[in-house]
Amino acid sequence: MTDPYQPILETLAKAKRVLITTHVRPDGDALGSTAAMVLGLRKKNMEAEVLLLSHLPKKYAFVYRDLGIFHHDAEAGWPASLSLEKFDLLLVIDTGTWSQLPGLREWIEGWDVPKLVVDHHLTQENWASHKLVDTQAAAAGEIVAELLKRWNIPLDASIATALFLAIATDTGWFQFSNTRPCTMRLAATLMEAGVDTDKMYQLLYQNERAERIALQARAMQSMELLGDNRLAVMMVRKADFEATRASVPDTEALINVPLQIATVEVSILLTEPMEPGPIRVSLRSKGKIDVAKFAEQFGGGGHARAAGLKVAGELPTVRDRVVTEMIKVL
């Protein structure tokens, strides 16, 4: 088998100015991997700029800010300042599908430069000039680390910090099943290169606003266990947002809390919007119930274990309708 790193390294070595992008709603892996790549290319005296398709998430903004990574923000409007002629290579990291790159395909149409994909996801399309896909890798950051190593780019504290963010977030701080022995070995190497892991842990996991925790406490107070304790239902009312000064993004991950209960198979979170509009219903399943199928009967959708739907009406009415249907399924 040919070495998949070789064509990527050869193509990169011929480039001078690289445009780097990643999937929409970038996570820690997307941002850490792109940052590490920019820093690595700088060491080769190459220019690199990052195009993000969504705003830089606040939670991870520190990595770009602290490491001096400038980015263009396509969510703020396709950047007129960013002219494609400037670049001689496109590098896409942490995705290989157009659906994760909204707007990009149209924007780069007819742009005749090599296009590289470095990714660890199973779902792939065949539009890249060369692809480096390792689905065993816990994070795209693992592949970027190997790429930089093979290119003899020395690890400094900045590159190591970016790569550590990528790997730590995609493995849930080394807890998920994608964590391999070589993941831990790489993490050790990155620590030796100067990553402040204590600081990063605090930035990632001990950095919430009090408003969010207050909102979550109220939501948890609302939790009911139904259907032989197999169904958990929580509600967030408009009044909860007002009382805690929290907002809709603060409900993120809240729906996973009831899944900690052994008997719970399905968790439902109903959110009353702050402005007039339909009730948002989020659904999570441990696997026995296909919540995507359930959501479809209400015009919603998603994945088997994570889905959502929207229903117009008053919160208690919507709750009763959804809960009655779910108890039938259970």
Q: Say if strands 279-285 and 306-311 run parallel, antiparallel, or are unpaired.
A: antiparallel
Task: Tell me, rounded to whole angstroms, the distance of Cα 28 from its chain centroid.
Answer: 7
Tell me the residue number closest to Mn ion, measured at CB.
Answer: 29
CB atoms within 10 A of CB 74: 21
Q: Which helix (H) or strand (E) holds 73?
A: strand 71-73
**Residue span 128-147 as binding mask against Mn ion, x where in contact by CB under 5 A, dash where not:** ------------x-------
* Least distance in angstroms from the C-beta of 287 to Mn ion: 22
94 binds Mn ion (CB under 5 A): yes
240 binds Mn ion (CB under 5 A): no
Burial class (CB in 10 A: 0-12, 13-18, 19+), 118: buried
Q: Tell me the C-alpha distance between 107 and 225, whole Å.
A: 49
* Least distance in angstroms from the C-beta of 170 to Mn ion: 5
Binding piece for Mn ion, criterion CB under 5 A, among 6-14, 168-176, 187-195, 274-282: 168-176
Q: Which amino acid is at 278?
A: P
**Cα angle, residue 8 at apex, residues 108 and 61 outer, rounded to 5°:** 65
119 binds Mn ion (CB under 5 A): no
Choice from 15, 28, 29, 219 touching Mn ion (CB under 5 A): 29
Our CB check for Mn ion shows the closer of 171 and 244 to be 171
* Least distance in angstroms from the C-beta of 199 to Mn ion: 22
Q: Tell me the C-alpha distance between 232 and 221, whole Å.
A: 12
> Cα-atom radius of gyration of the chain, to the nearest Å?
22
Our CB check for Mn ion shows the closer of 8 and 257 to be 8
Our CB check for Mn ion shows the closer of 253 and 262 to be 253
Binding piece for Mn ion, criterion CB under 5 A, among 21-29, 64-72, 184-192, 208-216: 21-29
Collect all residues with Cβ–Cβ distance below 8 Å to 95 and sequence separation of at least 6: 22, 23, 30, 101, 117, 119, 121
Which of 298, 293, 299, 291 minimizes the C-alpha distance to 321?
Answer: 298
Our CB check for Mn ion shows the closer of 29 and 272 to be 29
* Least distance in angstroms from the C-beta of 93 to Mn ion: 9
* Least distance in angstroms from the C-beta of 120 to Mn ion: 6
Choice from 142, 170, 250, 272 touching Mn ion (CB under 5 A): 170
* Least distance in angstroms from the C-beta of 92 to Mn ion: 12
Which residues here bind Mn ion, judged by CB under 5 A?
Answer: 29, 94, 140, 170
